Structure 1
Amino acid sequence: MAKPMTKTQLVAALADEMEADKKAASAALDAITSVITREVAGGGAVTLPGVGKIYCRERPERMVRNPATGEQIKKEADKVVKMTIAKALKDSVNG
C-alpha cells in the first residue's frame, strides 16, 4: 500500500490543479476543512461531489470487553464520524 498523501503534497497538487500559488491552495483547503468540521460537528452532513458524504452517526450505549483483563464494561452512547464513498470514486478505483 502506498503512503498517504501529506498536507504539503496535497496543497502542492491542489495549487497545480487550480493554477494558483500554494498559499491560496492552502487557504482553500483550510476553508473546506473548517466548513466540513463545523457542519458535521453540528449534526449535519457534507457531500463532496465525486468523493462521498461525510456525516456524524450516534452509537447507542453498549457492552464492550477490556482486551487486557477480559472484563465487560458498559460504554456510554457516543458519536462517530462516518464517510460513505461515492460510486464514481469506487468505479474509478475498480475499473
Structure 2
Amino acid sequence: MPESRKRKKSGHTVGSTPTPPAGPRPSPHWWAPTMVALMVLGLVSVVLTYLTQGNLPVPGLGNWNLAIGFGVMITGFFMTMRWR
C-alpha cells in the first residue's frame, strides 16, 4: 500500500507562547522630560554666561561656563536621537 505524505511541522508547539517580533522598544517615560530639561538648562546657562560676561552660573570658570552650557545642551540633543 502507498504511504501518504508527511505533514510539515510548524515551529509552534502546544503550550508555548509565540515570541513577539523584535523591534525598537519605546523610550522610558522619563526620557522626554529629561531631554527637554537638559536643552533648556544648557540654553539658560549659555544666556546667563553672556549676560554676566562669564561670571555666572559658576564664578571663577569664566568662558568655560559656555563650554559647560553647550555640553549640557548637546547632551539633550543627542538624547533626541534615541527617543522613540
TM-score (norm. length: structure 1): 0.31
Q: Which has the higher helix share?
A: 2
Q: Which has the higher strand share?
A: 1
User: Rg larger in 1 or in 2?
Assistant: 2
Q: Determine which structure has greater relative contact order: mean sequence separation of CA pairs < 8 Å that are 6+ residues apart, divided by chain length.
A: 2
TM-score (norm. length: structure 2): 0.34
